Amino acid sequence: MNKTHLGHTARKRFGQNFLNDTFVIEQIVDAINPQDGDNLVEIGPGLGALTDPVCERVNALTVVELDRDLAKRLRHHPFHGSKLTIVEQDALKVDFAELAKVDAPLRVFGNLPYNISTPIMFHLFSFANLIKDMHFMFQKEVVNRLAATPGHKNYGRLSVMAQYYCKVQPVINVPPGAFVPPPKVESAVVRLTPHTTPPVQVSSVKTLERVCTLAFNQRRKTIRNSLKECIEEAQLLALGIDPTRRAETLSLQDYAVIANWVDEHDN
Ligand code: SAM
């Protein structure tokens, strides 16, 4: 299998699968719709598959790249080098508040390494109030989970938490053949737009996360069992939530009601 693209050999430890399909790249850039004046940040620019066409449309772009060799290549980019601000760092450790500007919220995008896509997303959720939108390439299965609604087999902790922070819109599916080297799985691009007002009020996001984790870790059990360490059956009934339901039937609103009760009672 060919692992070399534009003279660079893909490094597995950095999750490098480079986009190599002009039609797909154009569709992604159209979905991002970069405009001059936008505060654009790309995570993992790699060999510039998305960086180049975005730079053709705007005058400034910040990129976060962990691979030193790739960051160096970008620094010496013959056409777009001067437009780029290069942050040579692990995106998981970047303080995105430092990149945000008062008058221009962040617009983040990237074809992310699949092994760290969920941690990067949660890291970015912690800056959700500074972000206008995000466009990410993930495994298709992850996009399905992000967008899933109650009652669906893909519905889980990731769906509840992502939908608490953002509006989730799958944009396009991308086959393995669009990359060098091709990944083993199907991919998809998703648009995540942080809510200006959260769809539900929660007193602690950490508690919401804890309740979802407990419920979905034992998704076959009824919630009176899976949640018993933080809430009793009688309390679920008092909140109007049937304790014989299973995790996948509860809405974000239901989880918020439970989490707020747990938080209030310090359980
Ligand atoms: N954007 C390019 C493309 O679409 O062809 C490259 C995508 S490749 C799937 C992922 C990129 O993320 C690589 O350039 C890799 O070096 C970079 N990367 C991996 N881990 C990273 C991290 N923790 N922080 C920032 N960049 C990372």
What is the tens place of the pLDDT at every residue in 125-174?
Answer: 999 999 999 999 999 999 999 999 999 999 999 999 999 999 999 999 99
11: left (phi over 0), alpha (psi -120 to 50) or beta: beta
Q: What is the mean pLDDT of the chain?
A: 94
44 marked as binding residue: yes
Q: Whose CA is nearest to atom 12 of ligand 1?
A: 44
Residue 187 beta carbon below 6 angstroms from any ligand 1 atom = no
Candidate from 3, 4, 16 with most ligand 1 atoms within 8 A of CB, to mutate: 16
3-class SS string, the chain: CCCEECCEECCHHHCCCEECCHHHHHHHHHHHCCCCCCEEEEECCCCCCCHHHHHHHCCCEEEECCCHHHHHHHHCCCCCHHHEEEECCCHHHCCHHHCCECCECEEEEEECCHHHHHHHHHHHHCCHHHEEEEEEEEEHHHHHHHHCCCCCCCCCHHHHHHHHHEEEEEEEEECHHHEECCCCCCEEEEEEEECCCCCCCCCCHHHHHHHHHHHHHCCCCEHHHHCCCCCCHHHHHHCCCCCCCEHHHCCHHHHHHHHHHHHHCCC
108 alpha carbon to ligand 1 midpoint, in Å?
14
Structure tokens at 84: 């780029």
pLDDT at 5: 83
Which atom of ligand 1 lies closest to the CA of 18?
Answer: 5
17 marked as binding residue: yes
**Band of pLDDT at residue 1, cut at 50, 70 and 90:** low
Q: Whose CA is nearest to atom 18 of ligand 1?
A: 44
**Band of pLDDT at residue 122, cut at 50, 70 and 90:** very high
**Band of pLDDT at residue 11, cut at 50, 70 and 90:** confident
Stretch 170-185: mean pLDDT, rounded?
96
Res. 266: pLDDT tops 90: no
Which atom of ligand 1 lies closest to the CA of 114?
Answer: 9
Q: Whose CA is nearest to atom 21 of ligand 1?
A: 66
Judged on CB neighbours under 10 Å (0-12, 13-18, 19+), 12 is: exposed
Specify the range with the lowest mean pLDDT, choosing from 11-15, 231-235, 261-265.
11-15
Percent of the chain with pLDDT over 70: 99
196 alpha carbon to ligand 1 midpoint, in Å?
29
Percent of the chain with pLDDT over 90: 88
- Rounded CA separation 199/59 (Å): 35
CA distances from 257 to 35, 193, 219, 237, 254 (A): 40, 24, 19, 12, 5
Say which residues have a Cβ less than 8 Å from residue 95's Cβ, sequence separation at least 6: none
Specify the range with the lowest mean pLDDT, choosing from 25-29, 169-173, 195-199.
195-199
Residue 42 beta carbon below 6 angstroms from any ligand 1 atom = no
Which among 202, 209, 121 is positioned nearest to 166, based on CA atoms?
Answer: 121
254 marked as binding residue: no
CB atoms inside a 10 Å sphere around CB 109:
26
Candidate from 8, 65, 135, 139 with most ligand 1 atoms within 8 A of CB, to mutate: 65
**Band of pLDDT at residue 2, cut at 50, 70 and 90:** low
Which atom of ligand 1 lies closest to the CA of 25?
Answer: 4
Going 228 to 234 to 237 to 238, the CA torsion angle's sign is negative
Could you give phi then psi for residue 122, rounded to 5 degrees? -65, -35
- Rounded CA separation 11/3 (Å): 9
Res. 46: pLDDT tops 90: yes
65 marked as binding residue: yes
